[in-house]
Amino acid sequence: MAELKKKEEPKIGVFVCHCGTNIAGSIDIKAVMEYAKTLPNVAIADDYQYMCSTPGQNKVVEAIEEHKLTGVVVAACSPRLHEPTFRGATKLGGLNPFRFEMANIREQNSWVHMHQPEEATEKAKDAVRIAVAKASLLEDLIPKSVPVEQAAMVVGGGVGGMQAALDLANAGIKTYLIEKEPSIGGRMSQLDKTFPTLDCSQCILTPKMVDVARNENIELLTYTEVEAVEGYIGNFDVTLRKKARGVLTTEEAEARGFVGGGCNGCGDCEDVCPVIRPNPFELGMAPMKAIYVYHPQVSPLLYTIDFDSCVKCNLCVDICGDKKAIDLNAVDEFETVKVGSIILATGYDIFPIEEKHEWGYKNYDNVITSLEFERLICASGPTGGHLIRPSDGAVPKKIAFVLCAGSRDNTGVGKPYCSRFCCMYSLKHAHQIIEKIPGAVPYIFYMDIRSFGKMYEEFYYRIQDEGAKFIRGRVANILEDPVTKNLHVNAEDTLLGRPIDMEVDMVVLAAAVQPSAQTEATRRLFGVSCSQDGWLLEAHPKLNPCGTTTAGVYLAGVCQGPKDIPDTVAQAEGAASAASIPIHRGEVELEPYFAVCLEDICAGCGMCINLCPYQALSLIEKDGRTVMHVTEAKCKGCGTCGGFCPGGAIWMQHFTTPQIVAQIDAFLLGGEQ
């Protein structure tokens, strides 16, 4: 490498940040700064209250000019936070931005050794020495710019995914909306009303579904899953599995030469289908045929065959007749699309609350979940909106609601977090039964009512005024009267300090939510991390709640953590805006951390070729010798090849072997070496 041979005298500037008292509270800043001055190659050392502020950054800029620095070290917070900031300052001072190195003396020092100031100060000195050693060997690097594919993808067609897709499409971006179910709409399409406004969920959702279906920039792919993902920001290749639907759209029928054919949603096939199975949309509370649509509002209005239960009797094919919309031999198809950025909006499932045996869900007929309540109270649900007891069809009058069912639960069975929207929908449920069933009384067993949103607290008061009864206490167990099928709710009223045994007609469990079943597989495909409870991990909890650590992949809705509809939609709009940035810019800069072959040393053994997970390496003939060659556009800079090369012939830019060895030496052998 040219840079290797060009010997320059390193001149490093070291800047130590107080970060108010965040760092200065446990580290002796002056001592670290004075120590830095004694290190080899250090031309200037300084300190400042807040290095990231404008005056702090100006210190860097001015020192570069004044001292003709070749490298900059800032000892402050984590490089994951402010490396970009100080690279900017380094560049402003006239140096290549990659001449900057950060010493983390906050997250990995002052904050974790708060009561050991001496040790923390020694550790900070070491960190500065290590950083100076690396900075002395840093080289100029030029990031490569790559063009960005002018399309985006949204995975998940619930309200968040739909909103994100609409925003992207309306900003002029071609957007693929991927939904695993046969229809978009997600959880929201299963709800009856929404709190606190009591809007009918379908009435506000259906127009959005129509907008999505009609939008010219949206390519809606329902009954489709992500199979594989390759590439990086700006250039993702996503392979999709279009599950065999067994029913052709009008376009697909036309492509097969049946002009005027294809599914028109008439439903004749459903009438003749002999197979009856539980309806998953109605949570098993209604029957469904093997050829089906979920509900009348589905989008697209297109039948789907469940091949797991289909007996291939051909009755549907016969009745469909000349439309020739049904193909019982359909197989999954695969398609690869190219997109520049991706939004994940994969939503949530309900925690299997039967695991909390003490409440008897699935053992006692009249213990149901809140989502089942939604379907039972919904006019388009299995009972036409008449709330009845599953055991005998009677109208319940005394209904207990158990809040935090499986949420805020540290027993090991359940979730430690608050599921966030259960309090509010349970208040709504209380309102609904008071409104619909004369004389009915809801009893709400709660730990705290969390009515945090706009007009939520007011809604809470309103429900109290309407006559709902609130009992503060966690329900210990529920027992069924085997004759009447009534339920005995045993709890402690913690306000009155006495035990309660209340007989009710029905119990509704506000079950916790958890990441949807396919979240784990999806996040691995996209290289996104998750937090301990499985929710997808945002790039920064405060400052980048829509981003992920994988550039070009963003998050929307409950997949990132429990949130209600307004928050989901707001985050979706944020994610859409973030995802549109690289596309509108047209090109992205990739960090120039790629591998370079030192051809003089390379023996052409080819051991590295198979180590590369991205097929970026190959062997070529050059000047009569076999040497390794790196395709820069494919290299992502992990360094797995460089960690192995037996001859040390791979130069991992910004993480070179001399740089890392210098860091190790600096720590263990001191700065005087």
Partner 1 sequence: MADENWKPKIVAIICNWCSYAGADLAGSARTQYPPDIRAIRVMCTGRIDPLFIMKAFQDGADGVLVSGCHFGDCHYLEGNYKAAKRMFLLKSVLKNIGLEDKRLRMTFVSASEGAKWATVMEDVVKTVTELGPSPLGESAR
Residue with the two structure tokens 């001055």: 37
Site for partner 1 in 64-103 (CB under 8 A): 78-81
CA 244 to chain centre: 27
Q: Which of 18, 123, 180, 431 binds partner 1 (CB under 8 A)?
A: 123
CA distance 512 to 350: 6
Cα dist. 325→213, 322, 328, 425 in Å?
A: 20, 8, 10, 41
Q: How far is the CB of 214 from partner 1 (least distance, A)?
A: 39
Q: Assess 27 for contact with partner 1 (CB under 8 A).
A: no
Q: Assess 663 for contact with partner 1 (CB under 8 A).
A: yes
Give rounded-to-5 percent helix, strand, coil for the chain: 30, 25, 45
CA distance 574 to 213: 22
Identify the CA nearest to 232 among candidates 343, 335, 341.
341
- Number of helices (H) and strands (E) in the chain: give both, helices first: 16, 34
Q: Assess 637 for contact with partner 1 (CB under 8 A).
A: yes
Span of 217-225, 300-308, 449-457, 657-665 interacting with partner 1 by CB under 8 A: 657-665
Q: Assess 144 for contact with partner 1 (CB under 8 A).
A: no
Site for partner 1 in 258-277 (CB under 8 A): none
CA distance 19 to 484: 67
- Cβ-based nearer residue to partner 1, 187 or 523: 523
Sign of the Cα torsion 69, 71, 72, 75 reads: negative
CA distance 258 to 574: 43
Q: How far is the CB of 6 from partner 1 (least distance, A)?
A: 24
Q: Assess 410 for contact with partner 1 (CB under 8 A).
A: no
Q: Assess 136 for contact with partner 1 (CB under 8 A).
A: no
Task: Please tell me the count of residues contacting partner 1 according to CB under 8 A.
Answer: 56
Q: Assess 32 for contact with partner 1 (CB under 8 A).
A: no
Q: How far is the CB of 660 from partner 1 (least distance, A)?
A: 6
DSSP E strand boundaries for 110-244: 144-147, 151-155, 174-178, 193-194, 199-200, 218-221, 224-232, 235-242
Q: Assess 531 for contact with partner 1 (CB under 8 A).
A: yes
CA distance 393 to 387: 9
Cβ partners under 8 Å of residue 598, min gap 6: 1, 648, 649, 650, 651
CA distance 471 to 493: 6
Span of 116-124, 331-339, 356-364, 384-392 interacting with partner 1 by CB under 8 A: 116-124
Give the contact letters, 586-625, x = binds to partner 1 (CB under 8 A), - = no: -------x-----------------x-xx-----------
- Cβ-based nearer residue to partner 1, 112 or 276: 112
Cβ partners under 8 Å of residue 86, min gap 6: 51, 52, 57, 60, 72, 74, 100, 102
Q: Are strands 441-446 and 398-405 parallel, antiparallel or unpaired?
A: parallel
Q: How far is the CB of 426 from partner 1 (least distance, A)?
A: 29
Q: How far is the CB of 643 from partner 1 (least distance, A)?
A: 5
DSSP symbol at 362: T
- Cβ-based nearer residue to partner 1, 258 or 655: 655
Q: Which of 25, 50, 111, 380 binds partner 1 (CB under 8 A)?
A: 111
- Cβ-based nearer residue to partner 1, 122 or 306: 122
Q: Assess 522 for contact with partner 1 (CB under 8 A).
A: no
Q: Assess 639 for contact with partner 1 (CB under 8 A).
A: yes
Q: Assess 245 for contact with partner 1 (CB under 8 A).
A: no
Q: Assess 643 for contact with partner 1 (CB under 8 A).
A: yes
DSSP symbol at 52: T
Q: Assess 16 for contact with partner 1 (CB under 8 A).
A: no
Count of CB atoms within 10 A of residue 591's CB? 14
Q: Assess 527 for contact with partner 1 (CB under 8 A).
A: yes
- Cβ-based nearer residue to partner 1, 141 or 319: 141
Q: Which of 1, 4, 114, 228 binds partner 1 (CB under 8 A)?
A: 114
The tokens for 608 are 């590295």
Question: In this structure, are residues 103 and 666 in contact, taking their beta carbons and an 8 Å threshold?
Answer: no
Torsion of CA 433, 437, 440, 445, to 10 degrees: -10
Give me the DSSP letters along 273-299: ---EEE-TTTTTSSEEESEE-SSTT-S
Sign of the Cα torsion 166, 161, 369, 424 reads: negative
- Cβ-based nearer residue to partner 1, 79 or 442: 79
Helix axes 159-170, 565-585, angle to 10 degrees: 30
- Cβ-based nearer residue to partner 1, 56 or 639: 639
The tokens for 299 are 């989008």
Q: How far is the CB of 114 from partner 1 (least distance, A)?
A: 6
CA distance 136 to 347: 48
Cβ partners under 8 Å of residue 335, min gap 6: 239, 240, 242
Q: Which of 5, 6, 7, 115 binds partner 1 (CB under 8 A)?
A: 115
Q: Assess 524 for contact with partner 1 (CB under 8 A).
A: yes
Q: How far is the CB of 640 from partner 1 (least distance, A)?
A: 3
Q: Which of 112, 203, 331, 495 binds partner 1 (CB under 8 A)?
A: 112
Question: In this structure, are residues 194 and 204 in contact, taking their beta carbons and an 8 Å threshold?
Answer: yes
Question: What is residue 307's three-state secondary structure?
Answer: coil
Q: Assess 642 for contact with partner 1 (CB under 8 A).
A: yes
Q: How far is the CB of 352 from partner 1 (least distance, A)?
A: 23
Q: How far is the CB of 598 from partner 1 (least distance, A)?
A: 14
The tokens for 343 are 């939004």
Q: How far is the CB of 403 from partner 1 (least distance, A)?
A: 27
- Cβ-based nearer residue to partner 1, 194 or 346: 346
- Cβ-based nearer residue to partner 1, 30 or 524: 524
Q: Assess 179 for contact with partner 1 (CB under 8 A).
A: no
The footprint of partner 1 (CB under 8 A) covers 78-81, 104, 106-109, 111-116, 119-120, 122-123, 126-127, 130, 524, 527, 529-532, 537, 549-550, 593, 611, 613-614, 636-640, 642-645, 648, 652, 655, 657, 660-661, 663-665, 667-669
